[in-house]
Amino acid sequence: MTETAILAASGLLLFAYAIEHFGRHFRLPAVVLLIVTGLVARQALDAFGLYYHWVEPAVPVIGTVGLILIVLEGALDLTVTRERRGLIVTAAAASLLGFAVTLAGFAMMFHFLLRFATPEAVLAAIPFAVISSAVAIPSAAGLPAQPREFVVYESALSDILGVLVFYSWLGADGSLPDFALDLFGGGALSLVAAVAAAIALYYFISQIVGHVRFLPLLAGLVFLYAIGKVLHLSPLIVILVCGLVINNPHLVHFHAKLRALHDDDYDQTVKEFKGLVAELTFATKSFFFLLLGYWTDVRTMLSVEAWLVATAGVALILATRWMILTGLRQPAVERLVWIAPRGLITVLLFLSADSAGKIDGFPFGAVMLIVLATAAMTALAHRGAAPATPAEIPTDGPSGAPAASASDTAALK
């Protein structure tokens, strides 16, 4: 049994790595290939009467760890400078407007089509309003520098915004005052905690010595996330701010002692830390998408209701994205309009809403159809382009340093 588990885990990782390279070469989303592989594996194993019951409880746990790593890796790819102020403002506006407009559209659709009450319709709509950085960032590889950086900032901000709004609305139970208090009050407390944690993490990463250096830091971040969830705060803000400070130490150079921590070894240490985060993110999301495909019952994807919701949802996503990008006069609209995927965060938020018993009767197959369709459509951003070669794959993130999002192991984001 032990040997079988080891063979299965290592085999899946090797398979995911091969899928990543295949998808990158032909500009196909690796996420779609992994989910489809899981779906096919489910049918094959069912034919032999085999079903692994441990998958159902494992998917949310692996997904949560993946969510933490996604936000951290995205933050480590963001560079905050005055030169990028215009890009950051535009990306933030696109993220906020896209989230709000898409949320309103999905909420109305669920209210009238599925007969959900308004609070439940809004809750069900939030996961679909979030652009998944897990899929968007690698999908932007091969785009010109400015559109590629725009996707990095926009999708990372969309992840954070979506998670904050979702859990605030879930806890408010339809009460607008409670929602505002939780979102802004809890967000403010989380921000204070995030700044304190980021300064502490900046100090420790500057003082790290020995062979075991980064895993204790990652364990500490996961611990802070869990504590934040227990205290009903917004722990992803902590992860985001910590990542931003690590990659942008000038943000905390308001004190001479903090400036002194940025020595000649700091940049190399951060580079190694990014590499470890990228490796762990690759492994976590590989398992998540494969298991998600296996866990999904194909029959839920064949219902007429699921296809109606998915078709209307994809059309809504594309229409709102085109209008917002055009309104903001963003360059390369004809390519960026296709990069609006829904992915890991959409699935995790939907599962959280479903486990809370708030959206009974929602056709789960529509979730998977929208995830698969929007992820697959990212390939249209590269239509007409030749298959990717190593020389075409960007090796620099927004910071100009080697970025995890462009590494060999990061195309499964």
pLDDT of residue 387: 54
pLDDT of residue 405: 39
pLDDT of residue 200: 86
pLDDT of residue 366: 94
DSSP label at 404?
A: G
**DSSP states of 147-200 as a string?**
HHHHHHHHHHHHHHHHHHHHHHHHHHTT-HHHHHIIIIIHHHHHHHHHHHHHHH
174 Ramachandran zone, left/alpha/beta (phi>0; psi -120 to 50): left
CATH number of 14-406: 1.20.1530.20
> What digits encode the pLDDT tens for the residues 345-400?
899 899 888 888 788 889 989 999 999 999 999 988 877 665 555 444 444 444 33
> What digits encode the pLDDT tens for the residues 70-99?
778 878 877 788 888 888 899 999 999 999
Domain map (residue ranges) of the chain: 14-406
pLDDT of residue 228: 80
pLDDT of residue 313: 96
pLDDT of residue 398: 40
Amino acid at 243: G
DSSP label at 235?
A: H
pLDDT along the chain (413 residues), means of 10: 78 86 76 89 85 81 85 80 85 94 96 92 94 83 84 86 87 85 79 86 79 83 83 78 87 78 80 90 88 88 93 96 92 91 89 84 92 91 62 42 37 38
The helix-helix angle for 266-295 and 235-247 (nearest 10°) equals 140
